[in-house]
A and B are shown apart, each in its own frame.
Chain A
Amino acid sequence: MKIKVVESVLKANDAVARENRKRLDAAGVLAINLMSAPGSGKTLLLEKTIPALAPRRCAVLVGDLQTTRDAERLGSVATQVTQINTGTGCHLTATQVAEGLDGLELEGMDYLFVENVGNMVCPAAFDLGEHRRVALLSVPEGDDKVAKYPTLFQAADAIVLTKVDLLGVLDYERQRVYEDLSRINTRAPLLELSSKTGQGLEGWLTWVQQQRQRLCPSRSPG
């Protein structure tokens, strides 16, 4: 007997993601999902971003296969940090984020940063309930990242090029990134910065604050 079904396989994940978004909306918290390859500078960017957003309060959910090292690094800057160890899982799912939210006090928070597992393929396929998706790429990874992993960048609301202080040291043709993005995503701004030197951080912080103003216009800016 053949039965026609036509039902999304990931509807369970997507339903949990919608629920997560509702919880965040109710608490007036803007959630940003950061996705990139391992080592592109997600954690350092958050270490610089969170103190700069003060007095706004930030919570972080950080996903890694193993260790609590990123959570320890972020513990000194964020109001609340929860490490999610995925074991062998190469991406966060909406359920893991829901469990992470259970452990956070959302009332009084302004931002939730979700630092996804370092991976340029799998995280792009899973809605976590975030409001904005940010894709990072760093100068040492090479200037062909957008062309090689278009799906991650297509789905991004902003694209951050990190470690630009290394542009003079490495043979990196920035123009290639712009050209590749012109075919893949002309909506997301490309923000160039160095978390180490502070160059370009201002533009990133402005983008982050604008997203929260758009989401929660009734609340005070930033």
Chain B
Amino acid sequence: MHEMSIAMALVEQLQRIAAEQHATRITEVEVRCGVLRQVVPEALELAFCAASAETPAAGALLRVVEEGLRARCRACGQEFEAAIDNYLCPQCRMADVELLAGRDVVLQSVTCETEDRDRAP
């Protein structure tokens, strides 16, 4: 359940953004999860639901977008799409890579309601 640690960090981030934007409510959150973080979207949603209670993000729709693996071969420099169970360089057949994408969890965007602008008059 590393999803709970991720959800708690995400909620802290959202609380800060809500304060900066003077948002009353966050309605939608988009998160990009690298496949190597092994995030189960349903588990993250459940954890987010628990962690966001009584915060501006409570009830927000969480969209999880998966990010694939991109690697650079340390032996020959070739860049390629790796798979979670296969890091073989197509050029030199070594499996010694530097990861370029697929390892991070990134908050992409936040949709929120603010006191002034988003309320109907």
Contacts and interface: CB of A to CB of B under 8 A. Distances in A.
A7 B107 contact: yes
- Most A-side CB within 10 Å, residue of B10, B28, B86, B95: B95
B84 interface: yes
B84 A150 contact: yes
Nearest to B113: A1
A185 B88 CA distance: 9
Interface residues of B, number: 39
A85 interface: no
Contacts of A5: 17, 107-110
A4 B13 contact: no
Given A7-B107, A12-B12, A125-B36, A182 B95 contact: yes
A174 to B, nearest CB: 18
Size bracket of the A interface: 20 to 34
Contact of B85 (A7, A13, A150): A150
Given A3-B112, A183-B88, A185-B95, A13 B2 contact: no
Interface string A3-18: 1111111101100000
Interface in A81-107: 88-91, 93
Contact of B87 (A2, A4, A6, A183): A183
A4 B112 CA distance: 11
A97 B17 CA distance: 27
Given A1-B118, A3-B17, A150-B84, A10 B105 contact: yes
A147 B108 contact: no
Given A8-B105, A185-B87, A122 B110 contact: no
Given A1-B114, A121-B38, A185-B95, A9 B85 contact: no
Q: Nearest 8 A-B pairs (CB), nearest first?
A: A122-B2, A187-B96, A9-B105, A186-B95, A2-B111, A150-B85, A5-B107, A3-B110
13 contacts: A1-B23, A1-B113, A2-B28, A3-B109, A8-B107, A10-B105, A12-B9, A122-B38, A151-B38, A151-B84, A183-B86, A184-B85, A187-B74
